[in-house]
Every structure is written in structure tokens, then in C-alpha cells.
Amino acid sequence: MSDRIREKLNILADAAKYDVSCSSSGGTRKNDNKGLGNSHVSGICHTYTEDGRCVSLLKILLTNHCIYDCLFCVSRKSNDIKRAAFTVDEVVDLTMNFYRRNYIEGLFLSSGIFKNADFTMERLLLVVKKLRLEQNYNGYIHLKTIPGASDELIKEAGLYADRMSINLEMPTEAGLKLLAPEKNHADVIKPLDFVQKQITQFSADKKLIKHIPKFVPAGQSTQMVIGATPESDKDIMYTANAFYRNFSLKRVYYSGYVPISNDSRMPVLGTQPPLLRENRLYQTDWLMRFYGFKVQEILNDANPNLDVDIDPKLSWAIRNMQHFPVDINQADYRMILRIPGIGVMSAQKIVQARKFGKLRIDQLKKIGIAYNKAKHFIICADSPYQLKDYQGTQIKAFILAESKSKYLKTDNNQMLLF
Amino acid sequence: MIYIFDGSLPGLLTAVFEWFERKPGKVVLKSIEMFQPEAFAESFTVITDAAKADRVWTGLQKKLTKASLRKFYCSYLSEIPEAYNHLFQFSVYIFKHAAGADSNYGNEHVMALAKYAKSVEREKHRMEAFIRFQKTGDGLFYASIDPDFNVLPIISSHFKNRYADQQWVIYDLKRKYGLHYNLETVSEITIGFAEGINKQKPAPGLMDENEALYATLWKDYFKSANIVARKNTKLHVQHVPKRYWKYLTEKIDV
Ligand code: SF4
């Protein structure tokens, strides 16, 4: 018995790991029935894999049997691999026991499509219902929507899941058609749109009736594989931007393609996954969501791809030197946020602290800004007198010279940078 | 002038009270543990007084935002000798100025507290992440820790809310006390360990029959979730510093 469950877990965790979403944030579920678990506002990473990715959820497939043949996917029909399937109870058991030991924040359940979409979706629904109704489980649940599943099933699942997601897979329709001829973006858009409308509906009802259940309280997310097809960074981020706007997505994930197939339409096996590019895309995503940048400011026809050697915020600043230097003691919060080397936390501290007097360099350093980077873009109370204006390109050279290795070897996707 | 206190929070607050009573000018606060008599410095021993401490605490509550009060408490839990003095100077500074002074990050004590609090909050967050319960033979979930700072008081509610339907114990091996949740309330406990027992990982005979299986499944899962092509040991160690590995079921060989 224990050998069989070990084998299943190995196969079905292995097949699920290419889905990069690990976030357990945004949940609001409370443990008010004295059951097990609750949501932590920002989610907790309980451990990190050896490639440095956060592990917070038990991320598994219900099964890796699949009737489709998407080229970028390890579970595709034509791939010669071991197949396995969990029973509903096995998934419930694993989740409960891992959760009780503080291994995980919750469950991320996805599945290959066996028989048909509804048949698969029904099984997924059974798992979440058992957890919530029989086990009093209030931990996080992220459920994959199966493309093509009926509205009723999706709607019911939304009553129990914290987050639902459905992957765009490729940033453009053309890219998707190339690698998964049976799929199209419309199949993804339909359920995203449906769930979004339900969320809006439920929250409208909630204002009128008190005890309305929560519907997908942590919202929806999606994922795009990058580097498998030839889209530019601009294509990718414009798609992301449109999906953030149209479906109020909580997150878009960018997953650097890890070669798993010998097909001539794909990067060959053994090619390094584009980790640095992935990192730059996440940085751009952050600039859009937390730093008030419009995607068009960062990527446009003149600059269709992100710089590799410097981060997109620095890159924007260097192209727009007319906005600098910014006076730390005068400028708008919005503008302070745009200074390279100053993050959201530091920007907030600066705006607070300057009420008590003009800030000096040593205070800025204590507040935690990356002064060596920021100094080219700011003036504060005791800025040294600058004889001449440097060009953007010169500044870039200074910064690169000072911190070369750091800039050329950033390959994490957990944002720590600006 | 050196003020010496007993290391307790009420003691520290009493010291603030005494300073305003006496106004002795510049003072450095030290805990009795750290105090070494200096030939030329005058010293004054603060006698902890609950009523005085209460008055100072109420005063701080009025003057500080909730977030600043939390930073104050966390800095105290850091148990760092210099932190005590910063807390003392910070309090004096706060009472001398109008409300709102706690957001002056240009002030060295405000900044120092922010830093201590950040380290303590980080340790708290790590404990919430890295604690691994083991289910014992009588159904209790047990975990031992030895955190850098005294974080038990600030992790208690997290575990109580989350694990409401199971009995658990979290034991601080360094400070020799722990928390026990009995399905109703959390209380502070000490444990008399039997001679020769492994406090980190009690013998399998004492554990639930399925404990080993779930530990193995978790280890398997950890291995499967890794993507070899993306290996990045530097980043891995940055997120999970080696000193925490001993907690982690997935990092300990059976
Ligand atoms: S339908 Fe999903 S599981 Fe099946 S091959 Fe395509 S991506 Fe993989």
C-alpha cells in the first residue's frame, strides 16, 4: 500500500511541477468552524526547492492520463511515460496529513483530461467538496479549471476553491495553434470570463444578503509558457496586461520553457530554460502592478524586448532622463517610486520621514534604498554638486561597472530586486 | 549614568518611568545580565514596578500607531542587548514629542527599532513556515525549535487559529519553554524530558504508526517538485539558510 501511494505521488507531483504558480496569497478563509486550517494573508512558503522556488502547496495532478496531445506538456497522449491516477480519498488524505504537519498551505489540484472535460471536472469537484464539507478543511485550495467543463460544474467548484486558474499556455493564439492545434485561447477565455462574472455577481449579492457564500475569494490566475514559441516580450506583456484588465486576474505567471520534447517545432532538449528573461518579465509585471507603470512605457514598437543586462525600471529611467534627477524632499510619491534603487517600502518611508526635515544621504541609506544605483537619479539635502549632466548610457555603464556580476546572473523569479 | 534593569519588559518600562521622575540627563540602559561595573560611570538599579510599567505602556499605546507598538514589542523580543537601550531612548523620544514622531525614520532609534522588528518578524515568519509537526502515539502534534529570537509569544495565535482541531506543542529548546494547545486554549509549559530522549526527533516507537509514512511521502514530494534544469543552490540557501535545515523533514535523512 505505501509503495503504491509513493509511486503515484512521484508520478503525479512530477507531472504537475511545471505549473509555476505557487502562490497561496489572497485567501481570506477563516477557521471559524474549529476545523483545520485558514488562509494566511500573503501565503507562506514552507520550503524551497533546490532551484529556489517557493513550495507552499501540495501541487499534484489527479491523473496524468490525457486525451490531448499538447506538444509543450509532459502529460501529452503521445509521450511515452508512466501513467497513474489518485483516488479522491487518496488526495484528501494526503492533503489533510501534510497540512496537519505544517508542510503546506494547501492543495493545488490539476489534472490531465481523461474521458472528457466534465468527467474530469466532476472528480476535481468531489475532492474539494470532501475536504470542505467532510473534513472541515479551511486551508487554501487552488483548482485548475478544465477547459470545456460545463458552467454548472465550474460554478459549484468556485464555492469551495480559493483560487481558480486556467492556463493560456502560449502568449499568442498563433503560438498556441503551433504547439497545440486542438486548443485555442477562446476555450480559456470563456471560463475565465464566466468565473469573473460570478465573482462580481456574488460580491454584488453579498451587499444585499449577509450570508452569501464566498466565491473564489482569492481570484483567478493564469500562466504562459515563454521561450517555446517566438513571441517578443512586448507580445507577452501586452497579452498579460489585457488579461489583467479584462478578467481582473490576481496573477499572471511566466514559465520559462523547460525542454521536454524532441519535436522540431520546439527548443531542443538540453536547452537552458530562459530564466533571466523570465525574471525580467516578472519585474515588468511588478512595475505594472505596484509601481504605476503603463506597459506601453516599458515595451513599445521602439523597444519590443526587455534589456537583458539591466532591469526594466533602470532601463526606463535611462531612456527617460528628462524626468531626472528627482528631488527626494519634494517629489510626488508616484515619482519617487520610479527611481531605480528605491522600492515600495523605501518610497513610503521616505515620504513619511521627510515631514520631519530634509533627508540626507546617510538617512536614505539607513532607510534601505540601493544608494549606489539611486544616486544617479536623485538630489537630496546634501547631494554633492554635479558638474555635468551625464547621459543615460554613461549612467548605465557606471552602474554595470559597479555591480556587474549581480546584473548578469540574476535568475530568480521571486522578486527581491528593486 | 547607567540604568540597570532586570531584562523584563515591565522592567524596561519602569526604567522609562524613573527617568521622567528624576530627569538625570543622559542615560544608557543595560540589562543586569550584560552589566559590568565601570569605574567612573554612575549607575542606578531600576526596581521593576508593575503599576509604573502599566502607566508607561498605556502612554505608549496612546502615542504610537499599532504598527509602531508592534515594532516596540518585537524589538524587545529580539533579546539583543543594544536593543534595550534603543527601546529606552525611543520611549523617551516619543514622550518628549507630539504624536506621529514614530514615523520619523530620520531618527536613529526609530530606525533601529524598525531594523530589530524586521529581523524578529522574519524569524517569526520563518518559524511559521519551517516548523514541522510530528504526530505522537497519543495523537499530539509535536515540534521543537531553537529560534534566534524569543518568538513563541508572537507565533502562538497563528498556530492556534490554524490548528484548532488538533492538540499541539511547540517547544523552544534554547529558552526551555513551550506552548501547548489543548483544543481550547494555549498555555506556556515546560517539559521534563526523559534521560537520553531525542528532543528533536523522538524515537519511532513513541510516534503515530503513520508518522514515518507521511514524512517519507513529504520527502518524496520535495524531490519530485524540483526541476533539475533550473537548479540554483545559491538561491535555495538564501531562502532556507542552512541553520534551519535541521527543522525540515524534507532535509533530514532518515
Ligand atoms: S490537455 Fe492539459 S494535460 Fe492534456 S496534454 Fe494538453 S496541457 Fe497536457
The whole-number pLDDT of residue A210 equals 66
**Min Cα–Cα distance to chain B from A48, Å:** 6
User: How many residue contacts between A and B have a Cβ separation below 8 Å?
Assistant: 157
B99 to chain A nearest CA, in Å? Answer: 12
Instruction: Give residue A400's pLDDT.
Output: 76
Q: How far is the CA of A189 from the centre of ligand 1 (A)?
A: 17
**How many angstroms separate the alpha carbon of residue A389 from the centre of ligand 1?**
55
How close is the nearest chain B Cα to the Cα of A296, in Å?
A: 31
Instruction: Please tell me the CATH code under which domain A2-273 is placed.
Output: 3.20.20.70
**How far apart are alpha carbons A6 and A254 in whole angstroms?**
30
In the reported structure, the alpha carbon of residue B39 is separated from the centroid of ligand 1 by a whole-number distance in angstroms of 78
CA distance B169 to chain A (A): 12
Residue B138 sits in the same domain as residue B113: no
pLDDT value at position A20?
A: 61
Q: For residues B154 and B80, state if they share a domain.
A: no
Task: Report chain A's mean pLDDT, rounded to a whole number.
Answer: 85
Q: Are residues B78 and B20 in the same domain?
A: yes
A35 vs B37, higher pLDDT: A35
Q: Which residue has the higher pLDDT, B45 or A174?
A: B45
Q: Per-residue pLDDT tens for A188-245?
A: 788 888 888 888 888 777 776 666 777 888 888 888 888 888 889 999 999 999 989 8
B146 and B60 together in one domain: no
Share the mean pLDDT of chain B. Answer: 90
pLDDT at position A415 is 38
User: CA-nearest residue of chain A to B183?
Assistant: A34
Span A102-161, pLDDT tens digits: 999 999 999 999 889 999 999 999 999 999 999 999 999 999 988 888 999 999 999 999
Tell me, what's the pLDDT at A417?
Answer: 39
Q: What is the pLDDT of residue A24?
A: 62
CB contact under 8 A, B128 and A44: yes
Cα(B232) to centroid(ligand 1), Å: 28
- What is the value of ipTM here, to two decimals? 0.90
Ligand 1 atom index nearest CA of A110? 3
Backbone angles phi, psi at A361, to 5 degrees: -55, -45
Instruction: Check CB contact under 8 Å for B227 and A258.
Output: yes
- The partner residues of A108 in beta bridges, in order of sequence, read A59, A142
Q: Nearest CB to A17: which of B163, B224, B234? A: B224
pLDDT at A403: 61
How high is the pLDDT of residue B12? 96
Q: For the residues B202-210, what does the mean pLDDT come to?
A: 83
Interface membership of A207 toward B (CB under 8 Å): no
Residues whose beta carbon lies within 6 Å of some atom of ligand 1: A 66, 68, 70, 73, 75-76, 112-113
A261 burial type by CB count under 10 A (0-12 exposed, 13-18 middle, 19+ buried)? buried
Torsion sign over Cα B144, B147, B152, B157: negative
From chain B, pick out residues whose CB is under 8 angstroms from the CB of A258.
227, 229-230
Where in chain A are the domains? 2-273, 312-402
| Domains identified in chain B, total number | 2
Q: Which domain range does residue B20 map to?
A: 2-123
**Nearest residue CA, atom 5 of ligand 1?**
A76
Q: What is the DSSP code string of A124-185?
A: HHHHHHIIIIIS-B-SEEEEEPPTT--HHHHHHHHTT-SEEE---BSSSHHHHHHH-TT--H
By DSSP bridging, strand B168-172 and strand B141-145 are parallel
The model's pTM is 0.83
**Model pLDDT for residues A157-172, shown as the tens digit of each residue:** 999 999 988 888 888 8
Please write the tens of the pLDDT for every residue from A62-85.
999 999 888 888 888 999 999 999
Residues B145 and B91 in one domain: no
Amino acid A393: pLDDT: 76
Please check whether residues B139 and B106 belong to one and the same domain: no
**Considering B123, B149, B184, which residue would you say is the last residue of a domain?**
B123
Asked if residue B244 and residue B162 are part of one domain, the reply reads yes
Minimum Cα–Cα distance from A367: chain B residue: B105
